Structure 1
Amino acid sequence: MIILDIELKDKPGELLRVLTPISKLGANIISIIHSRETKVGDRIPVRLVIDIDEKKLDILLDELEKIATVKKVDGKSKKVYIDVVVIGHVVDTDIKDTIDRINTVGLVEDMDLIMPHPEKESSASMRITVDIDKIGELFYLLEELEKEKNLLFIKSFLVR
């Protein structure tokens, strides 16, 4: 048995979208706990207990990542949240490009921007979600962006 902790968008049909690849791979669903009362923002935590051939688990996780956020597999964190403060000419150095490049490794889920004056440095705080095995790749990318755009990234992360 495998325990999967995932987060779904609070929209009709999202649970069905997750159950479809599980069924197609021949997994047996033991239980589903859909915790609407612990909703965070527009996301709902769901715990699935399934019985699946170990050889098919990686295939299933890849499929689930396309439609949901897989938080934990058998109690082990799959995702890391990294809070980043960016200091410098954040807007002038093409913030859309910065976000797009970060999204090739992780996902910028939330961002707040402070811009006191167009000619002064600005700052932004970002919440980035990344697979635990891609932290190094993300930190390398942030270092590249620092050098290229003359920005400073201050990082802290939390495993959930």
Structure 2
Amino acid sequence: MRINLVLELLDSPGQLVKALEPISVYGANLVTVIHKRDYKNENGKVPVQLTLEGEHEDLKKVVDRFEELGFSIIELDGVVRKEKITTIFFGHIVDQDLRDTMDRINELDGVEIVAFDIKLNGEEKSTALINIEADIGKKQIVFDKIAEIAEEKELLVINEV
């Protein structure tokens, strides 16, 4: 059996080697690896395309191990598994318990904030750009949670279209 997948790895020494380790541990064969360092995203991660061969159960163990190690599997056999969602909050973000806002988004199953950039303007209102990675099909759930938080905390929210 053969599978093709795309992982997102931090662009730092040792990450690729760490990602390749489960392949040999579970007896799979690495057919192709394309490490696209020129395509670093805003989180400092790069896509790595892998083609693996092996027994179905061994390949499943490799994929499970990738997830245990915290590697994002963006695509598996041509099927996109993660969506990137970008939203902006505007208002008194810090005063409204920034940690609570992040925790409430992260508590959604299959959803994770991968970047949170805030622009402070003294005592004035602030702007936060939030990058979220979510399992396919969870986009509306994320938007609903963001709208709930924004309404409760009196923040203006701008979601992507």
Work out the CA distance in 2 between the residues paired with 1:17 and 1:133. Answer: 29
- TM-score (structure 1 length as normaliser): 0.78
Partner of 1:111: 116
The percentage of aligned residue pairs carrying the same residue is 35
Query: Cα offset for 1:84?
Result: 0.3
Work out the CA distance in 2 between the residues paired with 1:134 and 1:21. Answer: 29
Work out the CA distance in 2 between the residues paired with 1:145 and 1:57. Answer: 40
Partner of 1:4: 5
Structure 1 residues without counterparts, runs of 5 or longer: none
Partner of 2:138: 134
Contact 1:110 1:126 in 2 (8 A): yes
User: How many pairs were matched up?
Assistant: 156
Q: Secondary structure at the match of 2:160?
A: strand
Distance 1:53 1:149, change over 3 A: farther
**1:80 partnered with 2:83:** yes
Contact 2:27 2:58 in 1 (8 A): no
Contact 1:80 1:129 in 2 (8 A): yes
Q: Which whole-Å deviations, capped at 9, do the CAs of 1:21-61 have from their partners, x for residues lacking one?
A: 23333322211122334444632321100124445655543
Work out the CA distance in 2 between the residues paired with 1:56 and 1:149. Answer: 48
Letter of the aligned partner of 1:125 in structure 2? L
Partner of 2:49: 47
RMSD of aligned Cα (Å): 2.6
**Which 10-residue stretch deviates more, 135-144 or 41-50?**
135-144
Work out the CA distance in 2 between the residues paired with 1:97 and 1:110. Answer: 16
Contact 1:87 1:151 in 2 (8 A): yes
Q: Which whole-Å deviations, capped at 9, do the CAs of 1:53-106 have from their partners, x for residues lacking one?
A: 445655543431333222211222221111101122211111122123323333
**1:28 partnered with 2:29:** yes
Contact 2:115 2:132 in 1 (8 A): yes
Structure 2 residues without counterparts, runs of 5 or longer: none
- What pairs up with 1:62-81 in 2 under 5 angstroms? 62-65=64-67, 66-81=69-84
Work out the CA distance in 2 between the residues paired with 1:56 and 1:88. Answer: 50
Q: Secondary structure at the match of 2:138?
A: helix
Work out the CA distance in 2 between the residues paired with 1:21 and 1:40. Answer: 24
